[in-house]
Amino acid sequence: MSVIKVENLAKAYGEQVLFTDASFLINPGERVGLVGRNGHGKTTLLRLLAGEEEPDAGSITFPKNYRVGYLKQHLSFTQSTLLAEACHGLPAAQEGQTWQVEKILLGLGFTKDDFQRPPAEFSGGFQVRLNLAKVLAAEPNLLLLDEPSNYLDIASIRWLIRFLQSWKNELILVTHDRNLMDQVITHTLGIYRQKLRKLEGKTDKFYAQLAKEEEIYEKTRINEEKKRKEIEVFINRFRYKATLSSRVQSRIKMLAKRERLEKLAKPEELDFSFPEAPMPGKLIMEVKGLSFAYQPAGPFLIDGLSFTVGKNDRIGIIGKNGKGKSTLLRLLAGELKPVRGAITCHPALQTGYFGQTNVERLDPEKTILEELLATTPACTPEMARKVSGAFLFSGDLALKKIRVLSGGERSRVLMGKLLLAPSNLLLLDEPTNHLDMEACDSLLEALDAYNGALILVTHNEMFLHALADKLIVFDRNQVLFFNGNYQRFLEEVGWEADQDLEATQNGRAIAAGTTNSRKALRQERAEIINRRSMVLNPLAAKMEQLEKAITQLEEELGQNNQELITASAAGNGERIAALAKRNAEINAEVDALYDELAGVTEEYERAAAAFAAELENLNAV
């Protein structure tokens, strides 16, 4: 027997119809991912299930004494401390069991020192986290989560995934993060063409099934149209032949009975690519000894960070919120000045910057077209129309004022501004916030095809796995440059929060379960990680140094070859001889550097594997 029964549900706002005649069941223990484009009714459906809105038609049936928990973005607190407010959501039978709530708060990024602070002292993002903690602690029969990863950092998202994977009751989840959704759900429920469709499995299976059904529908429609035309030709040809009048009448009746299949309108999709500016150099940016603090006396958010950016590098900036990720991007964009250190850029560098605060700089009284036209003097009305159309603001929609747009629509406008000026370096600060899942997919495709450098702040692990080949990591109260992709980072370094969890689990597995044993295990792990950093970080820095030296020599070689062409045309034998001699020296130096780089790389990989084996053996204890 189903737990929740939705029958013939309909909801519209004026002329905007969200869904009609929608029916589905939610069975015991199902964790359902709700998908659909922004504005198609996902949040409305959650509000209907939560009883905060009434349907225009249809019914929603719950079992007796069934409790629904709904994550709201609306903030309202009544208790004097964070812990008391979070405990306010506990079921009556669990009053006083604060340890469960403390575990949830810690998982969502709060510290023990935060527990006695008033809720009003926290930022808006952390207040939303507090709302999430209250809903999770309440353990409702049905948990409704609308974009729970908004304002969560990557460590908290990884914790939330583990928490939801172990959720025993029913769950309906809305999120733009496909990785989060697919790791949690058992079924997918989609709002598509004003209908609701539920299938077992992850989102890729759901969309593949939709595509297959629409392909079959279109083939059927084409065949039906072909048959209809054949009947119409017969009727028109023999309509006035008395000997065939019975056959003609038969076909007229047949035609009247045949249902005409309408051609499906193609769903609107983001379709764009980032324009690229030429970059003659291989090294486009060098960051050396970068340090920054907002106050003269500190504390330093970034201290002594050094790295280089190649013309095709894809660098992910990752870590907990409030540690300096956005600050680093603003430094690279030139919005902030470092306290110490330097950022050196190639003369041909052209940057496209999408920042969290940039959305606030959109003029609320301008239309979308006017905002796009203001991006650059080179932008024409035709260009602005083309870009607005690519971001789903075609026709009169482009005349909407910025002030009436949703957060997702403003993000699309800001992204559109990046398409009006070619770049060879994109700086993007959490660009997936406020986008729906389909828009995130389009953005990922566009970034993958971009032939330039990318520096990306994101908590979306799907983007990290797909794009990043190097990382800047804010973790363990420090910032470090990691010369490798995200999977390699997880295997060789890992997140401190994950390792604390593993250490706790290992401690529980020890038969005696003594405090001393757990401490020893954590201490041994910390020692291994510390030794690993001391060994691998210098090797990574050496690899970076060698790569930079090779790049500089290869650029000199390219310049010399151009000069050789000029000298040959001029018949300058002395210059030709000097350049040929220098090129021979360069080639010898480059060969030696490549040999040295191969040796350092081999040493790095051998040491990394050894440390990984040590940690694996420790985990097996």
Nearest Cα to 139, choosing from 106, 115, 163, 122?
Answer: 163
> What CA dihedral angle connects 361, 365, 368 and 369, to 10 degrees?
-110
CA dist., res. 120 & res. 101, Å (int):
19
Give pLDDT, residue 500.
Answer: 64
Name the residue ranges covered by the structural domains of the chain. Answer: 4-207, 208-257, 283-496, 498-619
Angle between helices 496-509 and 515-570 (to 10 degrees): 150
116: Cα separation from own chain's centroid: 33
Q: Assess whether the previous peptide bond of 91 is cis (omega < 30° from 0).
A: no
**Six-digit token pair at 557?**
């070689």
Q: In this structure, are residues 432 and 368 in contact, taking their beta carbons and an 8 Å threshold?
A: no
Using an 8 Å Cβ cutoff, are 496 and 474 in contact? no
Do the two domains 4-207 and 283-496 of this chain adopt the same fold? yes
Interatomic CA distance for residues 80 and 619, integer angstroms:
41
The answer to whether 221 and 263 have CB atoms below 8 angstroms apart is yes
CA distance 273 to 355: 19
Which tokens hold the place of 195? Answer: 């209908």
Q: What is the dihedral of CA 191, 196, 199, 202, to 10 degrees?
A: 10
Q: Are 110 and 119 in contact (CB under 8 A)?
A: no
Q: Which residues of the chain have pLDDT under 70?
A: 1-2, 73-74, 242-243, 268, 499-522, 618-621
Euclidean distance between CA atoms 159 and 105, whole angstroms = 11
CA separation for the pair 333, 316 (Å, rounded): 15
CA of residue 488 relative to chain centroid, distance? 19
Contact 422, 450 (CB under 8 A): no
Q: What angle do CA 219, 225, 230 make, to 5 degrees?
A: 130
Measure the CA dihedral 113/115/118/119, to 10°.
110
pLDDT attached to residue 514: 47
Q: Is residue 260 classed exposed, middle or buried when 0-12, 13-18 and 19+ CB atoms within 10 A define those classes?
A: exposed
Tell me how far apart the alpha carbons of residues 501 and 336 are, in angstroms, rounded to a whole number: 37
Place of tokens 């850029």: 345
Long-range contacts of 336-339 (CB under 8 A, 24+ apart): 336/292, 338/290, 338/291, 338/292, 339/291, 339/292, 339/293, 339/300
Q: Residue 200, Cβ neighbours under 10 Å: how many?
A: 11
Helix, strand, coil % in the chain, rounded to nearest 5 = 50, 20, 30
Burial 584-600 (b: 16+ CB within 10 A, else e): eebeeebeebeeebeeb
The pLDDT of residue 95:
75
Residue 509 pLDDT: 47
Q: Which CATH superfamily is domain 283-496 in?
A: P-loop containing nucleotide triphosphate hydrolases (3.40.50.300)
Rounded CA separation 580/612 (Å) = 47
Q: Which of 407, 618, 580 is nearest to 494 (CA)?
A: 618
Per-residue pLDDT of 144-188, as tens digits, reads 999 999 889 998 999 999 999 999 999 999 999 999 999 999 999
Class of domain 4-207: alpha beta
Strand partners, 11: 19
How far is the C-alpha of 553 from the C-alpha of 217, rounded, in Å? Answer: 60
Supply the pLDDT for residue 606.
Answer: 82
Structure tokens at 169: 């009751």
Question: Is 541 exposed, middle or buried, given 0-12, 13-18 or 19+ CB atoms closer than 10 A?
Answer: middle
What is the DSSP secondary-structure string of 357-412?
A: GGGGGS-TTSBHHHHHHTT-TT--HHHHHHHHHHTT--GGGGGSBGGG--HHHHHH
Q: Residue 508: what pLDDT?
A: 46
Instruction: Compute φ and ψ for 29, nearest 5 degrees.
Output: 80, 5
* Cα–Cα distance, 190 to 205 (Å, whole number): 12
Q: Report the SS3 class of residue 59.
A: strand
Give the pair of three-digit tokens for residue 160: 């939330």
Enumerate helices (H) and strands (E) in the chain, giving the number of each: 18, 18
Instruction: Give the Cα separation of 501 and 507 in Å (integer).
Output: 10
pLDDT at 504: 53
CA dist 182 and 215 (Å) reads: 25
Which residue's entry shows tokens 């602070």?
Answer: 117
pTM as predicted: 0.73
